[in-house]
Amino acid sequence: MPLAIFDLDETLIDGDCASLWSREMARLGWVDGESFLRKDAELMAEYAFGKLAMEDYMAFSLAPLVGRSREEVDYVVAPFVEEVIEPLIFSDAMRCVAAHRTAGDRILIVSASAEFLVSATAERLGVDEVLAIDVEEQHGFLTGRTQGVLTYRDGKVQRLEAWLAEQGESLDGAHFYSDSRNDLPLLTRVDFPHVVNPDPVLREHAERAGWPILDWS
């Protein structure tokens, strides 16, 4: 069946769940709030300009979770998503997801954020399938390391291609929605690219290519 693929941060939600999670960890006292959030802002600025090494960001953002169990993390992520993330979901995004569901399309979120954040947010959107950055566990505890190909830039394409082969699906007739220049590798692979509240580089590319530009709120 045709796929409807969505980026998450700044596409389905009005914000970045990773940065919002950093604030939550500061609130919980898991990090030194002032210095941690300053570094987070610096790295997110690099992301906005397409200069971020995702490995660096993940090493930074996962460090406070080293030695914590997945159950402990999930226990605090659930109310965080309900209270902080859910109010940021674009109403237009909800309508778009619903329209694809009604059309019988298979809905997939592919995000460059950590899987435990993406899965919890996807649940609020009624989306069952996600590809995100997987975090390593040993003996039930997080190690602070990632595993596998990171779902970032070309990594999104690599992970999606592996998923398509595994699921017996293809990109024929697929839609992809994103706000970021970092997703151009995947946007150029689908039949129906859509840019949502795009950054300046993506907007310029979309205008040249004649792609739909959506203003979601």
Is 74 among the catalytic positions? Answer: no
Contact at 8 Å (CB) between 116 and 70? yes
Is 7 among the catalytic positions? Answer: yes
**Largest Cα span, the chain:** 51
Question: Cβ neighbours of residue 74 under 8 Å, at least 6 residues apart?
Answer: 116, 120
**Integer Cα distance of 170 and 151 in angstroms:** 18
Burial status of residue 64 (CB atoms within 10 A of its CB: 0-12, 13-18, 19 or more) = buried
Active-site position among 7, 16, 40, 105? 7
| Structure letter (DSSP) for residue 151 | S
> How many CB atoms are closer than 10 A to CB 56?
11
Where in the sequence numbering do the catalytic residues fall?
Answer: 7, 9
